[in-house]
Every structure is written in C-alpha cells, then in structure tokens.
Amino acid sequence: MILSDVKIREEMRRGRIVIRPYRPDCLGTNSYDVHLGPYLAVYARGALDARTPNPVREFRIPRDGFVLVPGQLYLGVTEEYTETHGFVPFLEGKSSVGRLGIDIHSTAGKGDEGFCNYWTLEMSVKLPVRIYGGMPVGQLIYFEISGAVARSYSAKRSAKYRRVSAHPTPSRMYLNFPRHRRRSG
C-alpha cells in the first residue's frame, strides 16, 4: 500500500521517514515533491566501461539555467536528503517535467528500505530544454513492506551508494566485478 499524506507526516514524526529540507507545501495526497539540486555531472569520456570507474565532470547549474541536449546523459541530484526506515521509497518524475520531455531516471526509480542519502538522477531529454536548480523534478512515493527485513540497505557492507553526498554519484557498477570486490573478514 502507498502511504497517504497523513501517514507520511506521522512516519516523519516517528523518524521512520526523514526529508531535509522539508517543505509542508511539497507534501501531496500520497507523495512528496523533490527538487533538482545545484549540481549536474556528465561523464568525461565518450565510451563508458562497466568494469572500471568512469570519471565525471561536475558543474554548478548557472542561475539563468542550463540547457540539456538530447543524446547526453546528465547526472543530477535532489536538493533533499532522505531517509526511509521500514518503507520502500519510489522516485517518479513529475508529470510537468515529463511533458517537457525530461526523464529523471533511466532505471533507478526504486530505493531500498534503509536508504539514507540524496537521490542521484539519471537525466535525459527528448528535445533541448532549459532547467534550473531548485525546480521541482520528482515525487517520492512510499510503499509499506510486507514482512520483516533481514538487513537494511544502510547496514549492508555491499551497498555501493551508502556514502552520503549532495553531489551526483556516478555508476559504481565496477564494484560488482571480482577485481573490485571488498574482502570480508
């Protein structure tokens, strides 16, 4: 089941949902609006390699905006830091953003129970479009979990995106390959 506005506020009071900064006017009937943070990043090389770290070039979105162009993947970040304990958060693009031809995530719209961080956005566009830091880009929706969770995302040693950062985080897929796996013990 999806949490309602009343339930989201209740869980925030209990500390099971954290949203910073929190703006009461961004709470919808069953979602919370998140905003584009001040930074974007693009991969520095043309061809990416899943087995190795891929460097990015990060920049601050200018006050007068920045034009996203088709054919380029941009990594953005939410302005909001979130924590979710006991629920599964989903991030979906706002319909107004979608109607401008902006996709805010390629495949990573679902968070894990225990995710405590800013959300990195995998942004792409159908047409050139000017965007601005602070603009609403998505909605967080919270789902109840059926059953106990054996290990929260924040407690998993293998969790690749636990380091808190208000900057876009590039893919860490390379950590899935044997050469980069952490040794246990």
For 28-62, the pLDDT digits (tens) are 999 999 999 999 999 998 899 999 999 999 999 99
Residue-wise pLDDT for 83-125, tens only, equals: 999 999 999 999 999 999 999 987 767 888 999 999 999 999 9
User: For the sheet containing 136-144, what is the strand order?
Assistant: 32-35, 136-144, 87-93
Q: What is the CATH number of domain 5-167?
A: 2.70.40.10
The Cα 162–Cα 113 span in angstroms is 12
pLDDT at 181 over 70: no
- What pLDDT is stored for residue 184 in this prediction? 44
pLDDT at 183 over 60: no
Structure tokens at 106: 């390629």
pLDDT at 172 over 50: yes
Calculate the alpha carbon distances from 99 to 74, 103, 138, 146, 157 in Å.
Answer: 18, 10, 13, 34, 39
- What pLDDT is stored for residue 180 in this prediction? 60
- What pLDDT is stored for residue 142 in this prediction? 97
The Cα 103–Cα 90 span in angstroms is 15
Where does the pLDDT of residue 133 fall: very low under 50, low under 70, confident under 90, or very high at 90 and above? very high
Q: Once rounded to an integer, what is the mean pLDDT over residues 126-152?
A: 93
- What pLDDT is stored for residue 31 in this prediction? 97
> Would you kindly state where each structural domain of the chain is located, as residue ranges?
5-167
Where does the pLDDT of residue 182 fall: very low under 50, low under 70, confident under 90, or very high at 90 and above? low
C-beta neighbour count of 3 within 10 angstroms: 21
Q: Once rounded to an integer, what is the mean pLDDT over residues 131-137?
A: 98
- Mention every residue, 6+ apart, whose C-beta is less than 8 A from residue 173: 50, 51
Q: Once rounded to an integer, what is the mean pLDDT over residues 67-83?
A: 97
- What pLDDT is stored for residue 88 in this prediction? 95
pLDDT at 156 over 80: no
Q: Which residues are catalytic?
A: 122
